[in-house]
Amino acid sequence: MLTPSFEYTGEERGELRWGVAGVAFVVVVLAICAAIYLIPLGKTTYTALLAEAESVQTGDDVRVAGISVGSVEGIELLPDGVRMRFTVDRDVFVGDASRLEVRMLTAVGGHYIALLPGGSKPLGARPIPAERVTLPYSLMRVFDDAATPLAQIDGDTLRRTVTALRQSLSDHPDSVRQLGDALNTLVGLLDRQRADVATALATADEYLRTIDSAKSTLGRLIRHIDGVENILIGKRDEINAALPLTIRLLSRIAALEPAYRTTLQPLADELARAMPDLQRLGEHLNQVITTLGDLTGRSAGLCVPLPGKGC
């Protein structure tokens, strides 16, 4: 019986060595990739226990003060809960009293994990207990919380209350209708008040527009009052200066005795009779000037409120 020969030539042995080296290189590269995937560089892996994992998914962000520092790497189902594995940057300190809160990412869905570091000692390999993990919504917790107030309700008291309410409605069947009528009346009053307020606002708006259009007229009136005051002041000074001159003129004319009695005395008598009237005219002018001065002072302080401009 002939046995096969497995002797290789030098060339074949070289190719075999190259093949073994290539396989070994591929195995090493795969091992390095697996290590990088399983052991993230620059990050530390922690675990936390959750009562339920409905709102947590692999890949959710882990944030500290709103800044992303890691992500959820995996979720493992346990007999009494869920173990969540997550990573955090190595430069972020996670103490033994740290807490987690699962929060809404947007109004339409999505969640992220808010890490609240706490404690003075590193957390290490210990998991964060479920008591320090806050979930956004837990149906079981709602049932547990509702059990306590429901257990405190007195059934007899509730039954008597419902019976009294039913009896009251039976004795006064029109109460609900009257209540509805009262509400309708109240709504009508509010609607009328709204209409009155709208009318008042429209009137105020019209008043402001009228005042705005009359601003130029008021300005011209004030300027005219100032001009009249200046004219009256000038005339008053002229009359006051003319009275002494007239008196001196009459005294000098009296020295002309012969011609005075026949020609100038009638004119002097008329001027003498006119003196009280001229003095009264000067007094009236003083009163008018004072009144105009007061009016000018009040007009200077006049302020009309306009839209966009205060007093």
pLDDT digit string, tens, across residues 158-171: 788 888 877 777 77
- pLDDT surpassing 80 at residue 71: yes
What does the pLDDT read at residue 1?
A: 46
- pLDDT surpassing 70 at residue 307: no
The count of C-alpha atoms lying within 13 angstroms of the C-alpha of 119, restricted to the half-sphere facing its C-beta, is 17
Residue type, 20: V
pTM score, whole prediction: 0.38
Helix (H) or strand (E) holding 133: strand 133-134
What does the pLDDT read at residue 303?
A: 55
Per-residue pLDDT tens for 271-302? Answer: 667 677 667 776 766 776 677 666 666 555 55
Neighbours of 84 (CB within 10 A): 25
Q: Looking at the DSSP assignment, which residues form a beta bridge with residue 115?
A: 100
Q: Would you give the end-to-end CA distance of the chain in angstroms?
A: 127
In whole angstroms, what is the distance from residue 42 CA to residue 90 CA? 6
Identify the band that residue 2 occupies on the pLDDT scale cut at 50, 70 and 90: very low
Residue with tokens 């709504």: 187
Residues 6+ apart with CB under 8 A from 193: none
Q: Which residue has the higher pLDDT, 47 or 275?
A: 47
Q: Tokens for 95? A: 């103490």
Indicate the pairing of strand 61-64 with strand 67-78.
antiparallel
Range among 3-17, 75-89, 141-155 with highest mean pLDDT value: 75-89
Cα angle value 17/18/20 (rounded, 5°): 65
